[in-house]
Amino acid sequence: MAAPSFALDFERPLLELERKIDELKSLSGGAPGDFSAEIQKLEKKARRLQSEIFSDLSRWQVTQLSRHPQRPYFLDYVQLLFTDFFELAGDRSYGEDPSIVGGWARLDGRPVMLLGHQKGRNTKENMVRNFGMPRPEGYRKARRLMELADRFGRPVLTFVDTPGAYPGIGAEERGQAEAIAVNLEVMSRLHVPVVSVVIGEGGSGGALAIAVANRVLMLENSIYSVISPESCSSILYRDTTKAEKAADALKLTARDLLELEVVDELVPEPDGGAHRDPARAAEAVGRVLRKHLQALLAMDGPALVEDRYRKFRAMGPFTLGG
Amino acid sequence: MATWFSKKPRIAPVKPEEVDSLRQQPSRMQGLWAKCEECNEIIYRAEIEKNLNVCPLCGHHMLWPARARLQALLDEGTFEESDRELEPTDPLGFTDSKRYRDRLRVTRRALDENDAFVGGIGHIEGHPVSVGAFVFEFMGGSMGSVVGEKVTRLFERATERRCAAVVFSASGGARMQEGIFSLMQMAKTAAAIARFREVKKPYISVMLHPTTGGVAASFAWLGDVILAEPKALIGFAGPRVIEQTIRQKLPDGFQRSEFLLEHGMVDAIVPRKDLRAKLGALLGLMG
Ligand SMILES: [Zn+2]
């Protein structure tokens, strides 16, 4: 595929090498000959470099990948995995918040309710999507749609990708905290299967408000945290440049959370990250999503509620002292 | 330090200066005299305590420690504490300027509390309640796994006993040092409330200064009735975060109890002296 136009620092050597290979290929004009040995050598080198870079990513590098501007977003997955998407708008009391998108769709023909945070690809889109940071209306729309799904017995599938709930004057006036709190309660008692996939950033309460699910899955290069490494660093170290250190302290990658048993499964990404091959990323998400949905569809409503309750009831270690 | 890792954790001794700095920071109530941070008057400490930690001159509601609050608001001799034996762990091995486990050790010793929440059962004006209050002095009342577990158990007790639940919240939000586990307490407590709803007993949430972040965005805002003490700072994001995001000064009174009442986000503002009577009245009206 064409090299992405945006590169993280640690991706750059690889992308430069790939550009060189592309150049040689176009010089040879498709005819095998002069450059083929050189091309082969470089391709081998590129593969080695890729596995070198990606086999041992730091938590901060994963954080950067999770926010990669070319990473597939919720609506990309909608397009790649589902059919018949019918978007539903509005919270019915104040407004429509495009930073959370929701609606009916079909997965392999089966009707489901989809919900996800939606970031913008450019400044103009981000004006509309508010960088994927919902206001109370977004959470209230999400609640409305989850209740619809519950009433009509359709599974709820949510895609998490937000820096967090929006911290603004209007959001506070209209009850940001209340909107999130209500979602947590409503989700905990839905009588339908709920599966959440963290596809990019799982930013604190703003992420959890659509992720109280029977199964929580995370893409390999996604993060999920109580606070962003940047904010954590400015509070704890009084220094915003120590985000790297904070990312390590917070243990916020998919691998960390799998190990801490907070999430159920890690979805592997294509080599070099989901943004290098969105179709394959979606395929991997689809495979894991279907597997868990299939298992949950065998359970009745009360069993699903009980399953979700037990999952979250067990979270958080403590000891019993004397 | 080594003792901390022994099977049965014991609390290592704390340097006196550590204790002093901790004790003085939140309350500024040491000695015979105390200064009201609102009107700046120096007031005889016993006067303030007699007045439920409300400034007798300007009415400023100062921090009222959890145990003193529970003792004063519950019917005499009825409070029985639960879950005192729950102790925090350090699931991430977290270190900032201090190791989290050291911070816990010092704080626990200084305050003689295991974590930031005290819960139990008792009566308010004759009504049985499952009740609890935040220890704000304990790391800003932040919610880690122990706080989340105690709040969850508070609602489970209320469900079992079919009695009302009353929670006094004062918290800066989630406890960063417990990372993702502190976030998950929001879901855990909210789910416990969902179950409690089935017994159709009231949950009264009382928001104190301050109630923000993950505590505001979970059980604190799920009260059937939500009361606030005067001028408490209540909201999702802290004012500093909002100012940094929108790059403008916040209006006076923003996120204060009176602002929330005006915006329909709480039911009533109740001065501390009326709290007990109002809680009793509500419990009577709601059953
Ligand atoms: Zn005063």
Collapsing DSSP to helix, strand or coil, B126 comes out as coil
Tally of CA atoms within 13 A in the half-sphere of A260 that contains its CB: 26
Are residues A250 and B97, on separate chains, in Cβ contact within 8 Å? no
Report the CATH number of the B63-286 domain.
Answer: 3.90.226.10
Are residues A250 and B176, on separate chains, in Cβ contact within 8 Å? yes
DSSP B249: P
Query: B89-126 burial, b for 16+ CB within 10 Å, e for fewer?
Result: bbbbebbbeebbbbbbbbbbbbbebbbbbbbbbbbbbe
Mean pLDDT score, A77-84 = 98
Are residues B188 and A249, on separate chains, in Cβ contact within 8 Å? no
Contact at 8 Å (CB) between A59 and A259? no
Kind of pairing between the strands at B86-88 and A318-320: antiparallel
Q: How far apart are CA A140 and CA A138, in angstroms?
A: 5
Residue B13 has pLDDT above 50, yes or no: no
Are residues B184 and A260, on separate chains, in Cβ contact within 8 Å? no
Query: What are the two backbone dihedrals, phi and then psi, of residue A14, each rounded to the nearest 5 degrees?
Result: -65, -45
Q: How far apart are CA A284 and CA A112, in angstroms?
A: 19
- Confidence grade of residue B287 (pLDDT, cut at 50, 70, 90): confident
Taking CA–CA distances from A321, the nearest residue in chain B reads: B85
What is the pLDDT, as a whole number, of residue A25? 87
Q: Which of B114, B218, B237 sits opposite A172 (nearest CB)?
A: B237
A308 contacts on B by Cβ (under 8 Å) = 191
> Which of B126, B105, B182, B119 is closest to B154 using CA atoms?
B119
Q: Which of A166, A187, A262 sits opposite B184 (nearest CB)?
A: A262
What is the pLDDT, as a whole number, of residue B14? 45
Contact at 8 Å (CB) between A311 and A229? no
Q: How far apart are CA B233 and CA B207, in angstroms?
A: 9
> Which of A165, A222, A153 is closest to A194 using CA atoms?
A153
Residue A37 has pLDDT above 50, yes or no: yes
> Which of B180, B195, B194 is closest to B144 using CA atoms?
B180
* B75-81: long-range pairs with CB below 8 Å, 24+: B75/B122, B75/B123, B75/B124, B75/B125, B75/B126, B78/B122, B78/B123, B79/B120, B79/B121, B79/B122, B79/B131, B80/B120, B80/B121, B80/B122, B81/B118, B81/B119, B81/B120
ipTM of the complex: 0.95
User: pLDDT per residue over B147-197, tens digit each?
Assistant: 999 999 999 999 999 999 999 999 999 999 999 999 999 999 999 999 999
Q: Which of A188, A250, A321 sits opposite B179 (nearest CB)?
A: A250
Are residues B216 and A169, on separate chains, in Cβ contact within 8 Å? no
- Confidence grade of residue B19 (pLDDT, cut at 50, 70, 90): very low
Weakest-pLDDT range from A19-28, B96-105, B139-148: A19-28
Contact at 8 Å (CB) between B190 and B219? yes
Bond preceding residue B210 cis, omega within 30 of 0: yes
Residue B221 has pLDDT above 70, yes or no: yes
Q: Which of A131, A135, A180, A184 to mutate to test the interface with B (most CBs of B within 10 A)?
A: A184
Residues contacting A122, CB < 8 A, separation 6+: none
Instruction: Go through chain A and tell me how many residues it has.
Output: 322
pTM score of the predicted model? 0.93
State in Å: Cα B51 to ligand 1 middle: 12
Phi-psi region of A30 (alpha: psi -120 to 50; beta: other; left: phi over 0): left
State in Å: Cα B45 to ligand 1 middle: 12
Q: How far apart are CA A134 and CA A115, in angstroms?
A: 12
Listed in order, the ranges of chain B carrying CATH 3.90.226.10 are 63-286
State in Å: Cα B41 to ligand 1 middle: 6
Shortest alpha-carbon distance between residue B145 and chain A (Å): 5
State in Å: Cα B119 to ligand 1 middle: 30
Cβ pairs bridging A and B (under 8 Å):
195
Contact at 8 Å (CB) between B182 and B188? no
Taking CA–CA distances from A243, the nearest residue in chain B reads: B96
User: pLDDT per residue over A264-319, tens digit each?
Assistant: 999 999 989 999 999 999 999 999 999 999 999 999 999 999 999 999 999 999 99
Map tokens 């243990």 to a residue.
A251
Shortest alpha-carbon distance between residue B50 and chain A (Å): 34
Q: Which amino acid is at B164?
A: A
